[in-house]
Chain A
């Protein structure tokens, strides 16, 4: 086990970092916000961690935490800036934000190390730390998908106007989503940089947008679990696909296309609908209420069906 762990360390680290990055896109998508600001936040977190570690030799928790804080604040300001945008336009604006940071890093002179980037960000961050942080994040996000919190985000995504009439401040939910997305992206960027001890404009480029989106389209965007499935698949697929050699990219493309066309909910959506079908098959065939409503048997008065005690949760 530990032998396997050591020999696959890079992939294991990659899985968790990718998961955090994918979550920074999944969290807004779940709320119906088509934002890639998480990718820009990844860049913010990466460079902040590298600069603070190299120049001030601070502890990794401070180096990463500062980046997370910065990205959260920037995320909030960005949310105010793009408050009126949605859909494709919002996607474009937030990709522009990520690309802008790449240009800034390239031309940042001594501070960012220019096109070659920064080296020697050596810290005490370990794989165990990364795994622990990711698990805590996943736990919090999973809780946020349950109960009233989850339902309210569902409402904001599916029908913002309805959400408003249910007392939900849709704009506030959107702003929060930007903050969380920023924090997640920066966590991923900061940790990745400190694990690799280096960061450059190349590592924060457009490919991150593609990677994160690919993971979510194939895995599923409605839950953290979808992001986890996607992160697992696309981190480990290259090792599985070694035999196809240079055709790898083609296989990727086919996978994403197939997922987008045939399973819009991703693998997670497929699993969920399968589970629902299974549950339905176990349910008794006759549903008194439904049958009465369909047949119009008004002898079954509305108020007599189902007493409080019968309410299933």
Chain B
């Protein structure tokens, strides 16, 4: 944990170029302010974590950044360019890949087929036509399979996989698109501890290779160990931002997190 602080500090001082930035992003559903004024910056080759209790607006923020829900106000910038009106399907072509909070694999496709889906957008028309007669696997897919350790499971169908393995397939599918920015919504939910450590290690390796990431997680320890910066949210609002170790020690964060837990325990 001690290694985290200098890295976080360096980020603040270093001022790396932001690949993706949000300015005062808000998403309201009727009277409910799911997200209400979030500024964040994804710096090149860094992992930004978003921390917060259930219902704090993390997933909605991710949906807003990936253009799956319309903004109530604010701006979304990719390489300094406003993409608030870009159709969500174009974002994948511009290098933004994401996973979801729940497993979303196609049941009729094998593990390999599901991972291939990620790479399909990078295939030219002639490559797609060639695939009709010759079933070759693109290098991006092989690489994603190798990284996630799914090599032995490629012929299986999602229904035959454990939950943790299914989540790894989703990460592989996202990686197969060779993204510039990877956004993961609770990637280790439902995984056991060793699996969590593996995924955390994988994300760090990807970061070291220069992949910019946005990580939404519940596991505070994993966030501290993995992220370069943390943004803590509660009820749609930012409550703390900075180096991971500082953010988790922040009184507002402690209250939002631990206070909730104590209350919940008290209810029972």
| B132 adjacent to A143 (CB under 8 Å) | yes
A167: which B residues are within 8 A, CB to CB?
89-93, 120-121, 177
* Interface mask (B139-154 → A, CB under 8 Å = 1, otherwise 0): 1011101111111111
* Interface mask (B69-108 → A, CB under 8 Å = 1, otherwise 0): 0000000000000000001111111000110100010111
Closest to B111 in A: A289
* Interface mask (A151-176 → B, CB under 8 Å = 1, otherwise 0): 11011001101111111111000000
B193: which A residues are within 8 A, CB to CB?
296
A110: which B residues are within 8 A, CB to CB?
none
* Interface mask (A293-313 → B, CB under 8 Å = 1, otherwise 0): 110111011111111101111
- In the complex, besides A165-B97, A293-B164, 10 extra interface pairs with C-beta distance below 8 angstroms are A151-B120, A167-B93, A279-B155, A283-B155, A302-B198, A305-B149, A305-B150, A306-B152, A308-B145, A311-B145
Interface bracket on A: 35 or more
A68 CB, nearest partner CB in chain B, Å:
23
| A297 adjacent to B146 (CB under 8 Å) | no
The answer, yes or no, to whether B17 is at the interface (CB within 8 Å) is no
Task: Give residues in A with beta carbon < 8 Å to B.
Answer: 143, 146-149, 151-152, 154-155, 158-159, 161-170, 222, 276, 279-280, 283, 287-290, 293-294, 296-298, 300-308, 310-313
| B116 adjacent to A296 (CB under 8 Å) | no
Interface bracket on B: 35 or more
The answer, yes or no, to whether B118 is at the interface (CB within 8 Å) is yes
Residue of A155, A283, A301, A306 near B106 (CB, 8 A) is A155
Majority SS of interface residues in chain A? helix
A290-B162, A293-B164 known; A162 and B100 CB under 8 Å?
yes
| B131 adjacent to A148 (CB under 8 Å) | yes
A164-B68, A302-B168, A311-B154 known; A151 and B162 CB under 8 Å?
no
| B113 adjacent to A313 (CB under 8 Å) | no
A307: which B residues are within 8 A, CB to CB?
146, 151
